[in-house]
Structure 1
């Protein structure tokens, strides 16, 4: 699926991204082919998250007495997610590691020690540790902009914008939820800072 690049907002966040060049002679994978490319750990995490979402959706329709059950199940699902995240991190990662600094439902932004090739497609593993999100997609490098530094002798870094070319709908949903969650945390932190300054 190729999302409308203007339909989602991005949030600043630190996370890991692994990139592998995609052979330009190869067509982009279909949804099924993309699923087949996932590691065992990634497939397991995706399946568990899908089951959790369906289960919690059904429980929301119950009365108020079910709140304690829902809270308990959320705690259990978080524990499972943490274990799976740990398993994923122990897997051997293919590709070159980059530091992500922004993400949303349309793409990610990464910091690179060199300019990347504009319009090149790359197989992309994204790991948002604090949000318990891990996914595989195909991105296209759209821009690479040098970051200004105070030291003229310092090696410049580049901010590269990657746009999703092929990503599963469930993964876009995960990213959108995670971006809203990150935004809520940022707003809460800002409010606490303002309240502290006022007191």
Structure 2
């Protein structure tokens, strides 16, 4: 169970988050309790990703002739991930839906119509579609500020920072890998844009 507030960088990227307030008087779940809370869809996608990464690690040690097989297996794995992601998105989700703006291994930032109260705890389900990440964890609100910088009128939207308070270590690893992947794609796009201008 990861409860450390190790600072990781975060990356700007759209995703979906479902937040359910967690009662103040109720303790956060243990690692065992958190695993027991995972819906079947999340368990399936986590198991598939774990099996996939173990298998790909072993295949990396094969010679160049195996590259075609590895590429084919990656394609098959991607298909399975996409189907699981589709199934997950169709499931009923607890909590209110929010638009995510930034994510990383330490926490997320979301956009809301009203400010969230600092230090409030939430149970949260995250879906980062392009990176095939879906997870359940707990967060605490560290700040909630107006998104609009124009001070002459009241803000209609807020950006809130949420730090992870209970999250499985494997989920932190998923988020770190996904943030690095998104950053690489963004850098590649910037290079292409500079080259074409």
Cα pair 2:147 2:155 within 8 Å, conserved: no
Is contact 1:120-1:140 (8 Å) kept? yes
Q: Following the alignment from structure 2 to structure 1, what is the Cα–Cα distance between the partners of residues 42 and 30?
A: 17
1:27: Cα distance to partner?
1.1
Q: What secondary structure is seen at the aligned counterpart in 2 of 1:28?
A: coil
Indicate the SS of the match to 2:14: strand
Give, in whole Å, the separation in 2 of the partners of 1:166 and 1:175: 14
Q: 1:150: how far off?
A: 4.9
Tell me if 1:71 matches 2:48. no
* Corresponding residue number in structure 1 for 2:4: 3
| Structure 2 spans left out of the alignment, 5+ residues | none
TM superposition shift of 1:63: 1.4
Shift of 1:68: 0.9
Distance across 2 between alignment mates of 1:26 and 1:106: 23
Q: Matches of residues 93-112 of structure 1 in structure 2 within 5 Å?
A: 93-112=93-112
Which residue matches 1:83?
83
CA distance in 2, matches of 1:168, 1:121: 17
Structure 2: how far apart are the matches of 1:31 and 1:191?
Answer: 42
Distance 1:77 1:147 in 2: 39
Shift of 1:179: 0.3
Moved over 6 A (4+): none
Partner of 1:120: 120
Gaps of 5+ in 1: none
Q: TM-score with structure 1 length normalisation?
A: 0.95
Structure 2 distance, partners of 1:128, 1:64, is: 32
Counterpart of 1:168 in structure 2 is 168
1:113–1:157 contact (8 Å) kept in structure 2 = yes
For residues 160 and 69 of structure 2, what CA distance do their matches in structure 1 show?
A: 44
Give the distance between the partners of 2:151 and 2:75, measured in 1 at CA: 47
**Aligned partners of 1:5 and 1:163 also within 8 Å:** no
- How many residues align? The count is 196
Question: How far apart in 2 are the matches of 1:4 and 1:115?
Answer: 23
Q: Give CA-to-partner distance per residue, 1:86-120, whole Å, 9 cap, x none.
A: 00011001100000000000000000110111101
